[in-house]
Amino acid sequence: MKTPQTLSGSMLVSTADVTVDFIQTIGTDTFFDDLSAVVDRITPYSSLLFFLYRPGAAPILLSKSRVTESFRQGLDNYVNHTYLLNPVYQSFKTGIESGVYQMSEILPDGYGALISSVEFEIKIDVKETIGYLTPGWPKHTEELMLLINLPDGLMIEVTILRQRDVGYSRQDYLAMTQVFPIVQAVFHKHWELMNRDFTAHASRPSLDSAFDDFGSEALTAREQEVVKLVLTGHSSESISLRLGTSVPTIKSHRRNIYAKLEIGSQAELFSRFISFLTTRIET
C-alpha cells in the first residue's frame, strides 16, 4: 500500500514521516525550533512566527525563525501597537475556527476604509493585502496562517511567510491543510505537558481596553461601540448589522462622534486614536 504524501510546491513529503517528526517535538525544550524545521520541509519559508493570543490582552511572540534585525523591530511594533488593527487579532476576538487561512480570507467588511491616516505606527502601502505595513515588517510578503484554538480561550497563530514573488501555490495550501490536524493535535498535547512554553513569556498589559476608554469623556456608550467598530474596519452597513439598527442611524452616530471629538473625517478619527494609544503606552 502506498504511503500518503503531502504536496509541496517543489516536492512530495511523506505524511507518515512528517507525522512522526511532528509527534517527536511534543514536550521537548526545543519544541518551536523542531516544529519550524518540520514545517520548512513541507512548505519552505522565508520567516516563521508563533504567536499566542489571549482574551483581553496583547499577543505574545512565542518564537521566531529566520528573522532579520529590522524584522525584530517590526515584531516589537506589532505586539506593542498594530496588533489591535490586525485581521488575525480581530478574528480571534470574534471566535474564528481553527484552520489554515490566508490573510485575504479573514479581512473584515470595510477594512480598507480603516487605512486612512499615516502615523509612525503604520505605513500606507496599497500593495499590502491589509493596505498598510507595520514599520520593520518585511514588504510585500504573503502569509499562510495556521490558527489553533487552545483551552481557556487561547489561540496559537503559526504564520509562514514568503516574499510575494515566490508566493503560495494551491499545492502549498493543500499540503498545510492536509497536515493541519496533526499540527493542531501536537499543539494541544504540548500545551497539556508544558504550557509554561506558552505562558512563561513576559506578558504585556491589555491595550484592548483603549477602545473602551477612547472618547469616553465625550461619547455615549453606543457611540463608543460605533467608534470601536469603525476603528476595527467595519463599514456603516456592517455596523448596522452587528448592532441591529439602520444604516442612517449609524451614519447619524458617526456625524455626532465627529462633532463631539471636533474632527472631520475617519482619517482624523484613526489618527486621534493612534495618538491616544501612544500616550497610554508611554505613561
Name every residue whose Cβ is closer than 8 Å to that of residue 283 and which is 6 or more positions away in sequence: none
Q: 35 near 22, Cβ under 8 Å?
A: yes
C-alpha grid cell, residue 181? 490536524
In the chain, the domains with their CATH numbers are 5-199 (3.30.450.80), 209-282 (1.10.10.10)
For 71-104, write each residue's pLDDT tens digit.
998 898 888 877 877 889 888 988 999 999 998 8
In the chain, what is the straight-line distance between the N-terminal and C-terminal CA atoms, in Å? 64
How high is the pLDDT of residue 136? 77
Residues 180-194 pLDDT 10s = 999 999 999 998 887
Angstrom distance (rounded) from CA 147 to CA 54: 13
Of the pLDDT bands very low, low, confident and very high (cuts 50, 70, 90), residue 265 is confident
The span from the CA of 152 to the CA of 172, in Å, is 31
Nearby residues of 100 by Cβ (< 8 Å), 6 or more positions away: 144, 145, 146, 147, 173, 176, 177, 180
Name the grid cell of 101. Answer: 487561512
CB contact at 8 A, 71 and 136: yes
Global pTM reads 0.68
Rounded to whole angstroms, the Cα distance separating 100 from 179 reads 10
**57, 203 contact by CB (below 8 A):** yes
Q: Tell me the average pLDDT of the chain.
A: 80
Highest-scoring range by mean pLDDT, 15-29, 41-55, 231-245? 41-55
**What is the C-alpha to C-alpha distance for residues 261 and 253, in angstroms, rounded to an integer?**
12
pLDDT at 56: 77
